[in-house]
Amino acid sequence: MGGNRRIGLLGGSFNPAHGGHRRISLFARDALKLDEVWWLVSPGNPLKPRKGMAPLPARVGSAIAQARRAPIRVTAIERQLGTRYTVDTLAALTRRYPKKQFVWLMGSDNLAQFHRWRDWRRIARTMPIAVIARPGYTDAVVASPAMAWLRRFRVPLSSLTNGGAWSAPALVTLRFDPDPRSATAIRRGDPDWAARFTGPPVRDQLTHRIILAQEETPAP
């Protein structure tokens, strides 16, 4: 794994993972000059309805399939860390991997509701945040309580790509051709997608543990 590597963290339900996740991850990797991106597949998210949420192994399996042959590592490490909230997950990751530099990757749809997350200001103080434009959320982001606080910490992209040490809070906006794909639309068109990922057990690409379908409910 090596030290002093720059890692982008993309969290989500991945219910299922799709080409949009892959595309924004590779775009962010190139834009921020990252070594790789870690997809943090959440065991559960109370900001999203539990109905229709596929088992964790199926969601991880879909993410591994989408990440194939890309510098993306799929993990459900929240289970092993025993963390319930994203703020605690990120703190635990920075303790476990002290030589890595992390940046939190977030779609503009999540930034619009970021103020609802537990200790969201502490998340911003833990590592830089890179926001990736998503269609239809510009007005909501501009008007969000989180943006009112984060606006003073906006930095140019060059501040994260010049090779120096990263500091936080720092907010950078990545603008590119938005990807309209969504997991909601995929589930609507293919409600039985998870059945394709019920084969052999999947292994976490970061912890190397087998991922079992057990009930856990971490929060953002």
pTM, to two decimals: 0.91
pLDDT at 118: 95
Q: How far apart are CA 82 and CA 188, in angstroms?
A: 32
State pLDDT tens for residues 46-65.
556 667 899 999 999 999 99
Tell me: the pLDDT tens digits for 93-109? 999 999 999 999 998 88
Task: Please tell me the predicted confidence (pLDDT) of residue 216.
Answer: 44
Average pLDDT, the chain: 89
> Please, what is the Cα angle at 122 between 117 and 127, to 5 degrees?
105
Query: Residue 218: its pLDDT value, please?
Result: 45
Q: How far is Cα of residue 212 from the mean position of the Cα atoms in its chain?
A: 21
Amino acid at 16: P
Q: Contact 29/71 with Cβ under 8 angstroms?
A: yes
